[in-house]
Amino acid sequence: MSCTAVILAAGKGVRMRSKLPKVVHKAAGKPLVAHVVDAVRAAGIEDIIIVVGHGREHVENFFAGQPVKFVIQEQQLGTGHALRQAEGTVDPDSTVLVLAGDTPLLRASTLKALLEHHQKCQAQATVLTTFLDQPAGYGRVLRDEKGSFLRIVEEKDATPEEKQVTEINSGIYCFQASAVFRVLQQLQPLNAQGEYYLTDTLEILKGEGCRVEVMSAAEPEEIHGVNDRVQLAQVEKILHRRKNLQLMRDGVTLVEPDTIIVDSDVTIGCDTVVLPFTIIQGKTSIGEDCEIGPWTNINDSRIGHRVIIESSRVKEADIGDDCVIGPYAYLRPGTILQEHVKVGDFVEIKQSTVAPGSKIPHLSYVGDATVGREVNIGAGTITCNYDGQHKHPTIIEDHAFIGSNTNLVAPVRIGEASVTGAGSTITRDVPPHSLAVERADQRVIPWKKKRDH
Sites of contact with Ca ion (CB under 5 A): 225
* Position 71 contacts ligand UD1 (CB under 6 A): no
Q: 63, 138, 149, 181: which one contacts ligand UD1 (CB under 6 A)?
A: 138
Q: For ligand UD1, which stretch binds (CB under 6 A), given 40-48, 71-79, 204-212, 347-355?
A: 71-79
* Position 89 contacts ligand UD1 (CB under 6 A): no
Q: 154, 310, 348, 368: which one contacts ligand UD1 (CB under 6 A)?
A: 154
| Nearest distance from C-beta of residue 311 to ligand UD1, angstroms | 41
- Of 120 and 156, CB closest to ligand UD1: 156
Nearest to 34 by CA among 104, 109, 86: 104
From the list ligand UD1, Ca ion, none, partner contacted by residue 138 (C-beta under 5 to 8 A by kind): ligand UD1
* Position 101 contacts ligand UD1 (CB under 6 A): yes
Distance separating alpha carbons of residues 135 and 165, to the nearest angstrom: 8
Q: Of the listed 58, 117, 305, 362, which one is catalytic?
A: 362
- Of 15 and 433, CB closest to ligand UD1: 15
| Nearest distance from C-beta of residue 98 to Ca ion, angstroms | 13
Q: 18, 76, 166, 267: which one contacts ligand UD1 (CB under 6 A)?
A: 76
Q: Write the CA distances from 242 to 13, 107, 238, 262, integer angstroms.
A: 26, 11, 6, 10
| Nearest distance from C-beta of residue 251 to ligand UD1, angstroms | 36
Q: Which residue is nearest to ligand UD1 (CB)?
A: 139
* Position 106 contacts ligand UD1 (CB under 6 A): no
Q: For ligand UD1, which stretch binds (CB under 6 A), given 3-11, 56-64, 180-188, 249-257?
A: 3-11
Whether the Cβ atoms of residue 441 and residue 423 lie closer than 8 Å to each other: no
Whether the Cβ atoms of residue 100 and residue 22 lie closer than 8 Å to each other: no
* Position 82 contacts ligand UD1 (CB under 6 A): yes
- Of 12 and 283, CB closest to ligand UD1: 12
Q: 126, 199, 311, 335: which one contacts ligand UD1 (CB under 6 A)?
A: 199
* Position 85 contacts ligand UD1 (CB under 6 A): no
35 included as an active-site residue: no
Whether the Cβ atoms of residue 153 and residue 140 lie closer than 8 Å to each other: yes
- Could you say which residues in the range 203-242 bind ligand UD1, by CB under 6 A? 225
* Position 73 contacts ligand UD1 (CB under 6 A): yes
- Of 77 and 319, CB closest to ligand UD1: 77
From the list ligand UD1, Ca ion, none, partner contacted by residue 79 (C-beta under 5 to 8 A by kind): ligand UD1
From the list Ca ion, ligand UD1, none, partner contacted by residue 197 (C-beta under 5 to 8 A by kind): ligand UD1
* Position 79 contacts ligand UD1 (CB under 6 A): yes
* Position 197 contacts ligand UD1 (CB under 6 A): yes
Residues contacting 424, CB < 8 A, separation 6+ = 403, 406, 407, 436, 437, 438, 439
| Direct distance between the N- and C-terminal alpha carbons of the chain, in angstroms, rounded to an integer | 94
| Nearest distance from C-beta of residue 425 to ligand UD1, angstroms | 60
* Position 104 contacts ligand UD1 (CB under 6 A): no
- Of 225 and 326, CB closest to ligand UD1: 225
Positive or negative: CA dihedral 197, 203, 205, 208: negative
* Position 135 contacts ligand UD1 (CB under 6 A): no
- Of 154 and 397, CB closest to ligand UD1: 154
Catalytic positions? 362
Contacts with ligand UD1, residue ranges (CB under 6 A): 8-11, 51, 73, 76-79, 81-82, 100-102, 138-139, 152, 154, 168-171, 197-199, 225
